[in-house]
């Protein structure tokens, strides 16, 4: 009879059994840590899945290694060699590993089961049952350029749902951040704060359209219902109304007669006009993100074509007005005659549809963007919310208006409420961060700024708030530069056409470099600008702060006639006044520099606009400092430090900003650095 050991006894002798048991226990322990701890640390689910896959792959590899090798005091040896040297020295290490690992695994398992159950229950409790997000619809048309049509169907369903007060409806800005059919609906529902989501697809061919929709309980990832609609293009409005009504019924939302009428009403009866309108909407949404003038022009052109097809298309008329007002505020101010035309368009839209929420938003923006008539603007935004309770933009605009009125707590409340309705809106989060910065609530500002960038890595407002908060809060220039290095280099970090002070004029990318006293790099930021006036003024201002008046001569010669002509054409344009003041400083025409800087404050004083007026006041202090008027500059800075809202003025920044070098050694300025800043609203 052979003395050759059996296969199973050889497995035992080579510790393969022990390794298998120990690997299983340790692998289970690692899996428990991944599934229970990683989500708590907000580590993505794909990392958890990867860890589990790697554990599974490693199991057979561990068994092969256990068969061939053994750990000895001299290191890893082949089993045969290890046997020869240490035949009687096999320890009990594996037993200890198994016992300890098993104990930890069991503890984590039960803790995880207990907390997971509680967390799931809490999540279901926290998410309101009557809440929904309409995710982007998938374009299944052969024409991939018809994506705008699918987006439009989604948007119109969402708009109808937004009119139902008994529902919480997430804004399009947030839902647009997701795919048509995201893999992890539970995470989506948590991020958006909703219990249900609507997924859909649209297939358009000639004059036919197929719309597929499915309502999903995202908490349990279970379908509530799914439907397919095959209709003529001209009947697509009925599909949108039916889907909205079906959702309201499924979520047991109570509808008032007015809400039911809104859901059933089509914005136009002309399918050709509607198609043009959807193209305009798609381009307008793009323009609001990019702020490219050409995108605004294209959107306006399509709105106009839609109105030409249907002169009674009130929604298109209102949105055209909103498009032009965005150009006025963010790109290039409209002339007075152009603004009046916008007002006539809004009045026409309201005459056609007095209860159209979008028309009231447009009128509110006319008062706000067009004339800073805040009371009138707030009344229109309030009416829009009354007609469409989930109208997040109207609530957001109300917060911005109250901010300009100096009603800080009310502004914070409204902006935070708007963020709950539109939780993935990076622009809104960035503006909220900026509001906290203005109030010197640095911790909240930094948290919200990082949140804005986590939503959109290219969000300019969020990055300005982040960098500004660092410079104003701690004066840590190196940290500000590190954060700036993470942002795409193709933007100067300017937020809109408002240019109240030096930082606003040159943009925060260049300003961060100026504070670091890297003036040459700051100048290069403006090398490729398409805006000649802004480019010239920014470079001149940087050279003035750097003390390089000779280097500014060439740009001054070109900028002076351009800016003086512009101011003659638009005598109340404060941005041009700020730019011209710096050109005068480069020419050492100090009296003219002070005159136009004072004029800017007179046109828009803090009493009329706390935000912009306060910035212009700081701009006047900057010009005064470079004109040798130290007392005037210091007086303004003292006012800003003592006020609830200091804008860009802070003690840490005053200590390092080369802007204040001309008055740095003044005893009153040094005394100023010991003033205690006002914090909070």
DSSP string computed for 299-341: HHHHHHHHHHH-TT-HHHHHHHHHHHHHHHHHT-PPPHHHHHH
Residue 641 lies in a domain: yes
Q: Who contacts 679 (Cβ-Cβ below 8 Å, separation ≥6)?
A: 439, 440, 441
Q: Are residues 597 and 499 in the same domain?
A: yes
Q: What is the pLDDT of residue 408?
A: 94
* Amino acid 680: pLDDT: 67
CA dist., res. 563 & res. 421, Å (int):
43
Q: Do 16 and 66 touch, CB atoms closer than 8 A?
A: yes
Alpha helices in 69-146 (DSSP H): 79-85, 93-126
Contact 431, 412 (CB under 8 A): no
| Residue finishing a domain among 393, 423, 453 | 423
Do 335 and 303 belong to one domain? yes
CA quadruple 451, 456, 457, 458: dihedral sign: negative
Q: Is residue 173 a part of any domain in this protein?
A: yes
Considering only CA atoms, give the Rg of the chain: 32
Q: Are residues 581 and 664 in the same domain?
A: yes
Q: Is the domain of 288 the same as that of 209?
A: no
Q: Are residues 533 and 664 in the same domain?
A: yes
24 lies in a domain? yes
- Same domain? For 533 and 591 the reply is yes
Domain match, 519 and 663 both = yes
87 and 170 fall within a common domain: no
Q: How many domains, in total, are found in the chain?
A: 4
Q: Could you tell me the CATH number of the domain that includes residue 499?
A: 1.25.40
> pLDDT at position 233, please?
85
**77 in any annotated domain:** yes
Cross-strand bridge partners of residue 231: 209
Mean pLDDT by 10 residues, the chain (681 residues): 54 59 69 59 57 73 62 49 46 52 53 44 63 91 85 91 93 86 84 92 88 88 88 88 92 92 92 94 90 93 97 97 95 92 98 97 97 97 96 96 95 96 94 93 94 91 93 94 90 75 94 96 91 93 96 95 95 95 97 97 94 93 96 95 80 96 96 82 69
Cα-to-chain-centroid distance, residue 489 = 18
The phi, psi pair for 413, rounded to 5°, reads -60, -45
pTM of the model as a whole: 0.80
| Side-chain-side CA neighbours of residue 376 (13 Å) | 12
Q: Is residue 481 part of a domain?
A: no
Closest CA to 131 of 253, 259, 256: 253
CA-to-CA dists, residue 271 to 116, 203, 206, 231, angstroms: 50, 16, 12, 13
By CB neighbour count within 10 A (0-12 exposed, 13-18 middle, 19+ buried), where does 678 fall?
A: middle
CATH of the domain at 218: 3.40.50.10610
Residue finishing a domain among 393, 408, 423: 423
Domain carrying residue 642: 492-672
Q: Cα(515)–Cα(538) distance, rounded to whole angstroms?
A: 15
User: Are 110 and 150 in a shared domain?
Assistant: no
SS3 169: strand
Beta bridge partners of 69: 78
Question: Do 500 and 534 belong together in one domain?
Answer: yes
Residue 210 lies in a domain: yes
Residue 434 lies in a domain: no
CA distance 103 to 11: 26
* Residue 397: CATH number of its domain: 1.25.40.10
Q: Phi and psi for 79 in degrees, rounded to 5? A: -60, -40
Last residue of a domain, one of 102, 126, 150: 126
Residues 239 and 295 in one domain: no
Which residue in 339, 274, 326 sits closest to 295, CA to CA?
Answer: 326
In a shared domain, residues 511 and 636: yes
Q: Is 680 within the bounds of a domain?
A: no
């Amino acid at each position: 009879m052979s003395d050759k050991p059996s296969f199973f006894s050889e497995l035992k002798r080579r510790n393969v059994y022990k390794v298998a048991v120990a690997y299983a226990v340790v692998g289970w322990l690692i899996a428990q840590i991944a599934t229970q701890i990683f989500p708590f640390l907000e580590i993505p689910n794909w990392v958890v899945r990867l860890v589990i896959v790697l554990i599974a792959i490693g199991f057979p590899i561990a068994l092969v290694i256990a068969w061939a090798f053994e750990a000895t005091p001299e290191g890893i040896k082949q089993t045969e060699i290890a046997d020869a040297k240490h035949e009687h020295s096999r320890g009990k290490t594996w037993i200890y590993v198994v016992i300890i690992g098993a104990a930890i695994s069991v503890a984590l398992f039960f803790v995880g089961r207990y907390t997971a159950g509680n967390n799931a229950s809490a999540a279901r409790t926290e998410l309101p049952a009557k809440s929904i997000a309409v995710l982007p619809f998938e374009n299944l048309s052969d024409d991939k350029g018809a994506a705008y049509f699918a987006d439009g169907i989604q948007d119109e369903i969402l708009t109808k749902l937004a009119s139902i007060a008994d529902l919480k409806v997430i804004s399009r800005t947030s839902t647009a951040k997701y795919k048509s059919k995201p893999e992890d609906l539970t995470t989506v529902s948590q991020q958006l704060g909703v219990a249900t989501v609507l997924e859909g697809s649209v297939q358009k061919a000639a004059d036919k359209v197929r719309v597929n929709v499915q309502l999903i309980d995202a908490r349990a990832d279970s379908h509530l219902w799914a439907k397919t609609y095959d209709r003529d293009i001209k009947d697509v409005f009925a599909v949108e109304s039916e889907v909205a009504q079906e959702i309201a019924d499924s979520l047991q939302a109570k509808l008032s007669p007015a809400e039911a009428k809104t859901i059933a009403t089509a914005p136009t009866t002309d399918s050709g006009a509607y198609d043009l309108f959807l193209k305009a909407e798609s381009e307008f949404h793009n323009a609001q993100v990019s702020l490219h003038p050409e995108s605004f022009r294209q959107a306006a052109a399509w709105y106009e074509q839609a109105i030409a097809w249907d002169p009674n298309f009130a929604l298109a008329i209102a949105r055209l007005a909103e498009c032009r007002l965005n150009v006025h505020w963010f790109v290039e101010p409209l002339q007075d005659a152009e603004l009046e035309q916008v007002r006539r368009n809004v009045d026409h839209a309201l005459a056609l549809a007095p209860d159209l929420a979008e028309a009231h938003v447009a009128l509110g923006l006319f008062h706000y963007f067009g004339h800073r008539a805040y009371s009138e603007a707030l009344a229109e935004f309030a009416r829009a919310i009354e007609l469409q309770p989930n109208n997040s933009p109207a609530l957001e605009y109300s917060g911005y208006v109250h901010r300009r009125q100096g009603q800080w707590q009310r502004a914070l409340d409204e902006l935070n409420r708007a963020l709950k309705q539109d939780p993935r809106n990076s622009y809104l989060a960035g503006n909220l961060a900026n509001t906290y910065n203005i109030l010197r609530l640095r911790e909240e500002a930094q948290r919200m700024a990082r949140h804005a960038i986590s939503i959109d890595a290219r969000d300019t407002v969020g990055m300005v708030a982040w960098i500004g908060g660092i410079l104003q809060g701690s004066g840590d220039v190196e940290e500000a530069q590190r954060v700036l290095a993470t942002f795409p280099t193709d933007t100067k970090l300017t937020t809109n056409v408002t240019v109240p002070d030096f930082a606003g004029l040159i943009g925060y990318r260049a300003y961060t470099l100026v504070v670091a006293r890297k003036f040459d790099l700051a100048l290069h930021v403006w090398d490729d600008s398409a805006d000649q006036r802004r480019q010239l003024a920014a470079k001149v201002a940087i050279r003035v702060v750097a003390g390089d008046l000779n280097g500014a001569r060439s740009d001054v010669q070109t900028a002076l006639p351009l800016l003086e002509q512009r101011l003659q054409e638009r005598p109340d344009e404060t941005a041009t006044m700020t730019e011209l003041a710096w050109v005068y400083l480069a020419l050492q025409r100090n009296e003219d520099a002070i005159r136009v800087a004072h004029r800017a404050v007179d046109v828009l004083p803090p009493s009329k606009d706390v935000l912009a007026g306060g910035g212009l006041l700081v701009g006047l202090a900057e010009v005064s400092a470079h004109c040798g008027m130290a007392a005037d500059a210091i007086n303004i800075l003292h006012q800003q430090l003592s006020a609830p809202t200091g804008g860009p003025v802070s003690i840490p920044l005053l200590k390092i900003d080369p802007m204040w070098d001309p008055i740095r050694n003044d005893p009153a300025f040094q005394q100023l650095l010991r003033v205690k800043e006002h914090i909070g609203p």
